[in-house]
Amino acid sequence: MDQGVGKEKRNFIVLNLRLYLFLGIEVLMKVCIFFIAVFIFGGCFNKANLTKAPGKGNEAIIVKSENYILAEPRDYNKIVEFNEKILNAYKQTILIADTSDFKTVFVYKIIPKGIVNPFSQVEVACLVQNKYSGKYALSLCNKFFKNIEEEFNK
């Protein structure tokens, strides 16, 4: 009878050891996974990356956009004149960008927004390559829209 109790105790101890070993391995695996995740993703959250916009840098993002309502949208000459003024403002902004600290390349996009006639209202968007969007992009786009305003005031 004493041997049966001893055998049960021994089996109980072995079971507890297996359980502790299993739980220890499980905890160890979770800790390892945590540290691996911190190691892999830790570089994403350093101070240098927080000042830049997210992304790989090759895609263009809209930094700023403004809406314009064309008085006579069905007049082809007015639409051509509008496009020429936008192009002139773009050329002026590119000249400023080439001769100053703005080494950022940007483009503009005209997006029709009118319901009945698409060109009754348009949105002009200033797009900049993502890797430059955190530095001079907003200032450059502000200059672009200021040049547009000056073109329309001529």
Note down the domain range covering 36.
2-50
- 135 plus 69 within the same structural domain: yes
- CATH number of the CATH domain containing 106: 3.30.300
Q: What is the pLDDT of residues 22-64, one digit of tens each?
A: 665 665 556 556 555 555 555 554 444 434 444 556 778 888 9
What pLDDT does residue 124 have?
Answer: 93
Task: Tell me if 55 is assigned to some domain.
Answer: no
CA angle, 118 then 120 then 126, to 5°: 80
Which amino acid does the sequence have at 31?
V
Q: What is the pLDDT of residues 62-104, one digit of tens each?
A: 889 999 887 765 777 888 888 899 999 998 888 876 655 555 6
Which residues on adjacent β-strands are paired with residue 108? Answer: 126
Q: Rounded to an integer, what distance in angstroms lies between the CA atom of residue 1 and that of residue 41?
A: 60
- 43 plus 77 within the same structural domain: no
**Quick one: 89 exposed, middle or buried, by C-beta within 10 A (0-12, 13-18, 19+)?**
buried
Token look-up 């004493």 returns 2
**Per the structure, how many domains does the chain have?**
2
- 67 plus 142 within the same structural domain: yes
What pLDDT does residue 15 have?
Answer: 62
